[in-house]
Amino acid sequence: MSLKDVVFHAAQRGVSGSYALRGKPFDPATPFHPPQGRYGTVHYGLMLPGLPAPLNFIDVIAVIGQPRITLWRNDHLIETTAADTANLLIGAGIEFPGQFRGYQVDRDLELAADSSIVRFGDEFQLEGTYPNFTVAYRNPAFDLYLQVRATDKVSHFAKVRGGLYDHWSLLCQYDGAVTYDGRTTELSGLNTLEYARGADVALPFSFFTYQIINIDDTTQVLMTEVLGPLGVPVQRAVYVRSLHDHGGTYEDNFAFDVHRVEPVARRTPNGLPMRLATEFTWSVDDEQGRELIEIQAVTNDDYVYGMAGGYVGSYRYTGRFRGAPIDGTGYIEYIGNR
């Protein structure tokens, strides 16, 4: 481990309490609620990576209450107040009308105090309590129904001291079906159920990426990089978990390198220019200094807007995991310029 890694890890541990939770089973008493009290913004997410083309991936990204973080905010959707504004994305490798839209919380949403019902109008519903959930989305061009069974394998991305921000992800299994273009496709596999809550604080993030790969039918790998002002790293980590163990978190010699971006910058609905990665690599070592994973990726040209203030999509990858060759389709969230 380099001296830079030692200093960076020490700083992270001083800010976040998530490190003390590593390797521990999910506590069902973990907060899971809509906006309340100091927490003006809540995020629910379900991500299904590695689907056959042309789907490539499906995700559900629901944000209730607009955060003050510029990268994650959708000012253009606000009709009344930021707290009264929600947005929903049903992302996939195919585009369809209405897959990203805004809602007014008081007018359009039904929110149980324990999030056992999260309903956006007549379009979307997340229902259930840990560990069993159902997801239903109805759109004339895209219909989705999932039964989700959460495990106790959890990755805590952030638990900022002082209660400013919490974010965690559960390893899950799902079964269901999607209907589009007049055909129905049965779905099953590994997915994530994610939750975040944030206080009304303007954190100065400048870049964010989050990626998911299902190595096989039991093993999932998550990667995240968050940068602050001037590209200073806030978080760089790879999480490994499986149906059989709680896995680990790896940060040593983390590298994420973008080799090619789209030739023309996109402009988000909020007016921010973003040049999205089309070719990139990432890797990290294990605790013994050996390469844990190395990924070479080329995107599938299916980025769609609506991951907070950025984009989601998929990529084809080859690489190695614990010395063995791997390939498949990964999931990516990308906000900002790298």
Tokens of residue 123, six digits: 């379009």
Task: Tell me how far apart the alpha carbons of residues 276 and 43 are, in angstroms, rounded to a whole number.
Answer: 23
Q: Indicate whether 15 pLDDT > 50.
A: no
pLDDT at 22: 72
Q: Which of 8-17, 133-142, 190-199, 269-278 is predicted with the least confidence, judged by mean pLDDT?
A: 8-17
For the chain, give the longest Cα–Cα distance: 57
3.30.420.10, 3.40.50.2300, 2.40.370.10, 3.30.2270.10: CATH of 3-336: 2.40.370.10
Terminal C-alpha separation, the chain: 24
**How distant, in Å, are the alpha carbons of 11, 99, 193, 227, 247 from that of 41?**
26, 21, 17, 21, 29
Q: DSSP code of 183?
A: E
Q: Please give the torsion angle defined by the CA atoms of residues 117, 120, 123 and 127, in that order, rounded to the nearest 10 degrees.
A: -10
Q: What is the pLDDT of residues 75-106, one digit of tens each?
A: 999 999 999 999 999 999 999 999 999 999 99
Give ∠ CA 75-81-87 in degrees, rounded to 5: 55
At residue 336 the predicted structure's pLDDT band, cuts being 50, 70 and 90, is very high
Q: Is the pLDDT of residue 114 over 70?
A: yes
Token pair, residue 120, equals 């956006």
In this structure, are residues 116 and 106 in contact, taking their beta carbons and an 8 Å threshold?
A: no
Question: 27 with 45: CB under 8 angstroms?
Answer: no
Q: 4 pLDDT band (50/70/90 cuts)?
A: low
Q: What is the pLDDT of residues 208-262, one digit of tens each?
A: 999 999 999 999 999 999 999 989 999 999 999 999 999 999 999 999 999 999 9
Q: Tell me: pLDDT of 309 over 70.
A: yes
